[in-house]
Structure 1
Amino acid sequence: MNRRNLLGLGALAAAAVPLAGCQKYRSNDAVPPVVSHSPQPSSGEPSAAAVTEGGGAVPFEPGKVMLGAYVDLKGRSANAGIDLRRRQLGRPERIVHRYYSWTDKLPVSLGYVSGKSTLMLSWRGPEYKDVNGGAADKLIAKAAQRMAERKRPTLIRWAWDMNRDFYKWGGPANNKDTKGYIQAYRRIHRIFREEGADNVSWVWSPNWNSRPSESWNTYANYYPGDEYVDWAGVSGFAQAQSPGDMFDEFYETYASRKPIMIPEVSVVDRGGNTKPEWIASLREWIKAHPAVGAAVWFDTDTHPTSRENWRIDSTPASLAAYKAMSNDPVFIG
């Protein structure tokens, strides 16, 4: 059994810990030049990492990381929660992440999204047949028209965690039809293009840990193709895993082709200094992997299937570690 499968078994052991955004979130308001997040070595030797350009309408900026969050805090509106984070961090979120259901109207504007922030919409999917048969074409076209009306560069993360078994748009819920996922993704992408929604950047986003952990369900089997992906995203919620345990394999697979995003990330607090230390390790892992252009924290204490507090300020030490990452010049504000 390989390292990935062993780690997957460890993650599955904690059934109460979610590994991706929960179904509760129905809606709410050629290789280019070498770059590095860190200064070049004094010897003048180039970095060994080569990263791709790209990102589409939300471009990848070599040497910089957009640090953002999904903010949903108990007892606070979205606006109040995002404002709290602005005051704590001294800057707006670089990416504001929100969830929408398949039949929701995607937002033309959201008052709490700063002009310095980019909106990322995680848009739930239906079963593949509902897209691939053409029945949803009008719904998709209307969504595309709203995004075109929005005009501002916007990230869309359609049908994320498709390699997990808890969503109706996942391969396990669609008769293991990974090609059906690719067909649906490409159809939606085409309709958006035809409707003039060229302000959309497409985030393809599996989970690091496939479930079931079987060869047919590896995330590579869901990849729509370079033409259809602007950002390659991988999510992970750590227990004992390091950032490298979760993200190294994905990075090695896609970093030479697409800018990398971590669109959902957090860590279980195992007491003591474990959470702030993990945040510090994420900061260093990202800086050592120059194709990573965005990281989005799952900043909430309202998750319906877990008592885990994923907030950045769950403890003073955790907030201090997160602020240190936010204040690092690599993580642009």
Structure 2
Amino acid sequence: MKRRSLLGLSLAAVPLAGCEQYRSDDEVPPVVSHPPPSASEAPGSLPPVTEGGGPVRFKQGAVMLGAYVDLKGMGVNAGIDLRRRQLGRPERIVHRYYSWTDPLPVSLGYVSGKSTLMISWRGPEYKDVNGGASDKLIARAAKRMAQRKKPTLMRWAWDMNRDFYKWGGPGNNRDTEGYIQAFRRIHRIFREEGADNVSWVWSPNWNSRPAEDWNAFTNYYPGDEYVDWAGVSGFAQAHSPGDMFDEFYATYSSRKPIMITEVSVVDRGGGTKPEWIAALRSWIKAHPAVGASVWFDTDTHPSSRENWRIDSSAASLAAYKAMSNDPVFTG
């Protein structure tokens, strides 16, 4: 399933879903206000997690650098091969998107033995899961994942704290508990079907829309028993990596390894994009619970004029290659 039919981007300015389009003069909404962490959760008060991740293991000091690659004029194989040649190594995480009713992949030829597949699996409305109507569909998906026999990252119903997906809280009568119940039910069925090669990635957006207390990302957390990686997505316009990810890191880094599940930046010309990539590299290195970062590497989204590719300019590619060549990012 093409990402173009699934994606509503989590850009700080506007989502790129449906017919909405990014405009450089869009007003940036305020960061959602959550209650501050308790003293025991404040940044620096607890050491970051040093292990975990489920079947896709977290290794502190070894960040898996991966991407969703979809490049204009190229098939998936060709795009991923171009990045392998440019970076001198395969993507550590190959990210792909699937609709709720799509058969999930047992094998993909473009995922090398040195790469891990991350599936972003679209969701339905919560009632379609919690009422049991989707149990057979979920079980079929779980059986296919078990057949993969390879550690696989499963990112179900991402960006649930935004208002442009049918599986978001805003689209389900503000029923954040319904999201939690659905996540847990799917997790249970996968376990019952023997899909113990799956690592579960829970992945809200860094800022909620609407920015109201009920919609805070913390209200969607399924619980430590059901989450292997705490992921967060963010597309930067005027925000630094710290602006976007500090709060999430402070909330979960002592409990779970952290993944930046979708990330890119608006290119405002000059050195803005390469400088932001360098800032992301520095931020990740300063936050040892981060074990993976996955770039949104594409120029094909139909409702966006933005070029999210790592090679949108020679300077951007050089900055990304410098990050890729950093020993911390060779995990």
8 Å CA contact 2:169–2:176 kept in 1: the answer is yes
Give 1:10 shift.
6.8
1:88, distance to aligned residue in structure 2 (A): 0.2
* 1:189 matched residue in structure 2: 187
Paired residue type of 2:128:
D
1:265 aligns with 2:263: yes
Q: Indicate the SS of the match to 1:167.
A: coil
Shift of 1:47: 12
Describe the SS at the equivalent of 1:186. Answer: helix
The answer to whether residue 246 in structure 2 is matched with residue 241 in structure 1 is no
Is 2:10 aligned against 1:16?
A: no
What is the aligned partner in structure 2 of residue 79 from structure 1? 77
**What one-letter code is carried by the residue in structure 1 that aligns with 2:69?**
V
Residues 139, 190 of structure 2: 8 Å contact kept: yes
**Once the 2 structures are TM-superposed, how far is the Cα of residue 303 of structure 1 from its aligned partner?**
1.1
Cα deviation 1:7-60 (Å, max 9, x = unaligned): x99735996339xxxxxxxxxxxxxxxxxxxxxxxxxxx998432420000000
**Runs of 4+ deviating beyond 4 Å:** 12-15, 46-49
Q: Which residue of structure 2 aligns with residue 276 of structure 1? A: 274
Alignment of 1:105 onto 2:103: yes
- Please give the secondary structure, in 2, of the residue aligned with 1:234: strand
For residues 266 and 94 of structure 1, what CA distance do their matches in structure 2 show? 17
Deviation at residue 138 of structure 1 after TM alignment? 0.3
Percent identical residues: 83
Report SS of the residue matched to 2:327.
Answer: coil
The separation in 2 between residues aligned to 1:244 and 1:76, in whole angstroms, is 34
Correspondence for 2:309:
311
1:50-69 aligned within 5 A: 50-69=48-67
Q: What TM-score comes out, normalization by structure 2 length?
A: 0.87
Does the 8 Å contact 1:70/1:96 carry over to 2?
yes
Listed one character per residue, the Cα deviations across residues 50-73 of structure 1 (whole Å, up to 9, x for unaligned) are 324200000000111000000000
Indicate conservation of the 8 Å contact 2:123/2:167, yes or no: yes
Residues 9 and 150 (structure 1), Cα distance of their counterparts in 2 relative to 1, 3 Å cut:
closer
Which 5+ residue runs of structure 2 have no aligned equivalent? 1-9, 24-43
Conserved? CA contact 1:52–1:257, under 8 Å: no
Aligned residue-pair number: 299
Coordinate RMSD, CA, aligned: 1.9
Distance in structure 2 (CA, Å) of the matches to 1:80 and 1:259:
31
2-structure distance, mates of 1:246, 1:223: 18
TM-score by length of 1: 0.87
How far apart, CA to CA, are the structure 2 residues paired with 1:10 and 1:142?
A: 36
SS in 2 for 1:108: coil
The answer to whether the Cα contact below 8 Å between 1:260 and 1:293 also exists between their aligned partners in 2 is yes
Counterparts of residues 159-198 of structure 1 (less than 5 Å): 159-198=157-196
Match of 1:22 in 2: none
Query: 2:205, 2:48 → 1: CA distance?
Result: 24
